[in-house]
A and B are shown apart, each in its own frame.
Chain A
């Protein structure tokens, strides 16, 4: 049973870089899955940020692409998110999750419990 756990600072200063890590347990990050980040601003809906394959291939949300970097560390069975030049609009609960792609879709399951990141001085 794959489980995911996010970790990282809960407070980031404006113009700084948000950095989160997702530890994967119960399965290998080198399996045939993609590893994703999704965020949810307080009281709002879900926003897909991007994903990474163990080979290092990535897909990013076009609206965030210029500020996002997702990387993988196979030795630690974890993957990470970096979001630069943050503003208050980046305040959100950030979820990591496994994404299973097939020919015509992507299934996101399971999800981590989420971690709230607040952008404030």
Chain B
């Protein structure tokens, strides 16, 4: 069981807005940045959001991140079929260890 808790699944129809949550503790999300990764089937993870809410170059502004206390969220607006993927949150823990959430499988209905 992962230290960072995500819902195992999420779904939405094209055009909808969906959110994926990530819950941690004071030693990780509560005191460090949150990162989000997108993993398309059969590929390596790709950085989607860094420092809680920053998008790397090339990531559409349909993707946004936020953090409050020991929880974080990834929001995807204007859902598209190509957004169907696994999404992982990540954070550094003050014990000098990296952490990933268990992952959320997003289905576009």
Contact = CB atoms under 8 A, between A and B. Distances in A.
A105 B100 contact: no
Contacts of A46: 37, 39, 45, 88, 90, 100, 103
Interface stretch (A10-18, A24-32, A70-78, A107-115): A107-115
Contacts of A99: 98
A104 interface: yes
Interface in A47-90: 47-48, 51, 59-62
A93 B90 CA distance: 18
A99 B56 CA distance: 15
Contacts, number: 72
**Majority-rule SS of A interface residues:** strand
A109 B32 contact: no
B51 interface: yes
B1 to A, nearest CB: 10
B47 A108 contact: yes
A111 B100 contact: no
B68 interface: no
A111 B44 contact: yes
Nearest to A113: B44
Contacts of A105: 32-35, 50-51, 91-92
A106 B92 contact: yes
Contacts of A47: 100
B85 to A, nearest CB: 13
Interface residues of A, number: 25
Contacts of B51: 105, 107
Contacts of B47: 107-109
Contacts of B45: 38, 46, 95, 108, 111
A36 interface: yes
A60 B96 CA distance: 8
A114 B56 CA distance: 22
15 contacts: A36-B98, A38-B45, A45-B103, A46-B39, A46-B45, A48-B99, A101-B92, A104-B31, A104-B92, A105-B50, A106-B90, A107-B50, A108-B90, A112-B44, A114-B44
Given A46-B90, A105-B35, 16 more contacts: A38-B100, A45-B103, A46-B39, A46-B45, A46-B88, A46-B103, A48-B97, A48-B98, A59-B97, A105-B91, A106-B35, A106-B90, A106-B92, A108-B47, A108-B98, A109-B46
